[in-house]
Structure 1
Amino acid sequence: MTSATSDLTNDAFLGGQLTLTQPASGYRAGVDPVFLAAAAPARSGQSVLELGCGAGAASLCLGRRVAGLRMVGLEQQAIYADLAQRNALQNAIPLTIYQGDLENMPADLRQDRFDHVIMNPPYFRRDRGTSSPDGIREGALGEVTPLTAWLDHATRRLLPGGYLTLIQNAERLPEVLCAMDSRLGSIVVKPLCPRIGRAASLVIVQARKGARGAFRLAAPLVVHEGSHHTEDHEHYTPEVAAILRKGGALPL
């Protein structure tokens, strides 16, 4: 459900358990941050950092599912940083927002460490595609800071044994894996397929700092029932409906 006020909308997530204010145009959170939040294995009493938190969708979905987390977000664009803090307040979920650049973090954040880092880095390399004419949307979806830097900064912010969880375009999985150095192990990849028989469009990747477990390719998550679209309404699989509508977890 969406209701518009001037250039902002109020959008329901998790079957109405969460309401997010976000721009009516430009980058808008959809299902991707919900999947990201569902995949983070956080427990009450732990700490979570989201890099590039946007309007706070992933962090707040996670905070709604797991109470008692210390949550922090870093966002470069002022409009989204302000909205993330506003969304945290209106949903009564504790979330501290820093506005700043990934490669020039506020000093307090550089000195902090977390049990979990989650992130949804920009999907599109700008040496391979066309930039969006919308500057805010381009800032969210077009890569300026390379994936290698995202992975390095995320790893630095983790406590020993901490989990890194990210969602990314499936075609960029080789880049993600190459950027994960010896500090990370026990890597799990979960493909997200639009329908049965369709190639994965997204992947969730999770790794643990200091772990030495073998790489594991998990069974795919199929988003929609049926082999093709037949009617103009949602046909989520039961597992996906439990995540998107009820705030369920996505164990990897």
Structure 2
Amino acid sequence: MSEETEVDGFLDGRLRLRQSAAGHRAGTDAVLLAAATPDEQQGLILDIGAGAGAVGLMAALRAPRARVGLVEIDPASSALARLNVATNGLEARVSVFEADALSAKSRRAAGLVDEQAALVLTNPPFHEADKVRVTPDAAKARAHVASAPLADWVRACLALLASGGTFVMIHRADALAECLAAVEGRLGGVSIQPIHTRAEAPATRILLRGVKGSKAPLLILKAMVLD
């Protein structure tokens, strides 16, 4: 592996994750998203936009009876994900799918089958290209800057989710309206959990959950404070 990498520990050292030293690095957002995985979860969990695999691998450790798929478009990140699967001894339950999640053809070519996942977890690129300064690092830009509208990303994720399955996404709090618009008519039982870095500060993130095919109403959950 040509690029410089470093190893980080997650879940009190239970997970050892090799990540690019200069590119995107998983952190608190990944931990919060993975924590949405129920311990008793079974079936297939998909981590869409997996990067080096932080969310999906943490989900695999939280839910030992589930299978996990890491879906990632970038070849270098996919290679790191495969290495991390092997390093953590999870080859029997975790697979890497190198694919453009937004393309049905690419998903099929990688071996993904629509409407098979019991749980989809995703931490999509948060920013729009015309609203931020885009880094010249292609891999880091891909992780942070959206190449398509959020609704397209959500639609692709939900194509892979089985009826009755659960979708969980972490996003910026100021993108709440866009997040709700992206899932409208596609999910029910939607819940929003605001996440604050400090009790007196505005929320910086939201966790959005929903169930495919549900007709249950929207819920606003108690805020989570990280300090």
Structure-1-length-normalised TM-score: 0.84
C-alpha contact (below 8 Å) 2:114/2:159 kept by paired residues: no
- Residues of 2 paired with 1:80 and 1:89: CA distance? 14
Tell me which residue corresponds to 1:84. Answer: 81
C-alpha contact (below 8 Å) 2:78/2:96 kept by paired residues: yes
Q: Does 1:63 align with 2:66?
A: no
The verdict on how the C-alpha distance between 1:6 and 1:152 changes in structure 2, with shifts beyond 3 A counting, is: closer
Tell me which residue corresponds to 1:99. Answer: 98
The verdict on how the C-alpha distance between 1:149 and 1:13 changes in structure 2, with shifts beyond 3 A counting, is: same
Where in structure 1 are there 5+ consecutive unaligned residues? 225-252
Tell me which residue corresponds to 1:36. Answer: 33
The verdict on how the C-alpha distance between 1:109 and 1:36 changes in structure 2, with shifts beyond 3 A counting, is: same
Q: Does 1:49 align with 2:37?
A: no
Q: Which amino acid aligns with 2:216?
A: G
**Deviation of the 1:40 alpha carbon:** 2.6
Alignment partner of 1:106: what SS?
helix
Alignment partner of 1:33: what SS?
helix
C-alpha contact (below 8 Å) 1:47/1:114 kept by paired residues: yes
C-alpha contact (below 8 Å) 2:114/2:161 kept by paired residues: no
Tell me which residue corresponds to 1:156. Answer: 159
Which segment is superposed worse, 6-15 or 42-51? 42-51
The verdict on how the C-alpha distance between 1:6 and 1:85 changes in structure 2, with shifts beyond 3 A counting, is: closer
Where in structure 2 are there 5+ consecutive unaligned residues? none
Q: Which amino acid aligns with 1:106?
A: R
Tell me which residue corresponds to 1:178. Answer: 181
1:104-152 deviation line (CA, Å, top 9, x unaligned): 2331314451101110000111121110122211111111122111111
Structure-2-length-normalised TM-score: 0.92
Which segment is superposed worse, 126-135 or 35-44? 35-44
C-alpha contact (below 8 Å) 2:170/2:205 kept by paired residues: yes
- Residues of 2 paired with 1:16 and 1:23: CA distance? 18
The verdict on how the C-alpha distance between 1:121 and 1:6 changes in structure 2, with shifts beyond 3 A counting, is: closer
Alignment partner of 2:201: what SS?
coil
**Deviation of the 1:43 alpha carbon:** 2.7
C-alpha contact (below 8 Å) 2:101/2:107 kept by paired residues: no
Tell me which residue corresponds to 1:227. Answer: none
Alignment partner of 2:35: what SS?
helix
- Residues of 2 paired with 1:6 and 1:160: CA distance? 40
Tell me which residue corresponds to 1:133. Answer: 136
1:91-110 deviation line (CA, Å, top 9, x unaligned): 11221111111222331314
Match runs of 1:164-203 below 5 Å: 164-203=167-206
- Residues of 1 paired with 2:114 and 2:202: CA distance? 41
Which segment is superposed worse, 77-86 or 41-50? 41-50
- Residues of 1 paired with 2:203 and 2:64: CA distance? 32
Q: Does 1:109 align with 2:112?
A: yes
**Deviation of the 1:181 alpha carbon:** 2.9
Q: Which amino acid aligns with 1:222?
A: V
Alignment partner of 1:15: what SS?
coil
C-alpha contact (below 8 Å) 2:3/2:20 kept by paired residues: no
- Residues of 2 paired with 1:190 and 1:75: CA distance? 26
Identity %: 29
**Larger Rg: 1 or 2?**
1
Q: CA RMSD in A?
A: 1.5
Q: Which has the higher contact order (CA 8 A, sep 6+)?
A: 1
- Residues of 2 paired with 1:214 and 1:197: CA distance? 29
